[in-house]
Amino acid sequence: MKNTKNILLLILLLIALTSSAILSFKPLSEICNIEEGCELVQNSVYAHTFGIKNSVYGVGIFVFLSVLTLVQIYRHSDKIEKFLKFSLILGSVTAVYFLILQVLVLEAYCKYCIVADLSVILALLVIYFPKRKISFV
């Protein structure tokens, strides 16, 4: 059961990693359509922290969390699980913040940002989802 949860967690982190990598390494002209608002989001004052694109931070963070999750799949550790939970809480708070910025402040949407943000929030739900046996009888 724990491995199933960790495998799902890994898949969600890899989705977030892929989305962040696309934003980090592909030119906006190749991935963003002007009508979608992606370019507006990526060129806003909120797109960088300490002069570095937020997506670059995402790549590093998601690589690190993916490696930890792989370790967790093959050799369970309570310390790693606690660290993953703490990281996903912080990540989800950050994701909600960025989603709110897109909706209420920028009124523009970046599909890659939304995928990364929702993946982190879903990962948090997966790691905290209670263990239950499903019975059809």
Where exactly are the structural domains of the chain?
Answer: 2-29+40-128
Give the Cα separation of 62 and 130 in Å (integer). Answer: 24
pLDDT single digits (tens) 91-134: 999 999 999 999 999 988 889 999 999 999 999 999 987 666 55
pLDDT single digits (tens) 57-85: 999 999 999 999 999 999 989 999 999 99
For residue 68, which amino acid is it? L
Give the chain's length.
137
Q: What is the pLDDT of residue 74?
A: 92
CA dihedral 33→116→50→85, nearest 10 degrees, is 170
**What's the CATH fold of domain 2-29+40-128?**
de novo design (two linked rop proteins) (1.20.1440)
Give the Cα separation of 69 and 81 in Å (integer). Answer: 8
Q: What is the pLDDT of residue 102?
A: 93
Closest CA to 111 of 65, 42, 50: 42
DSSP code for 52: E
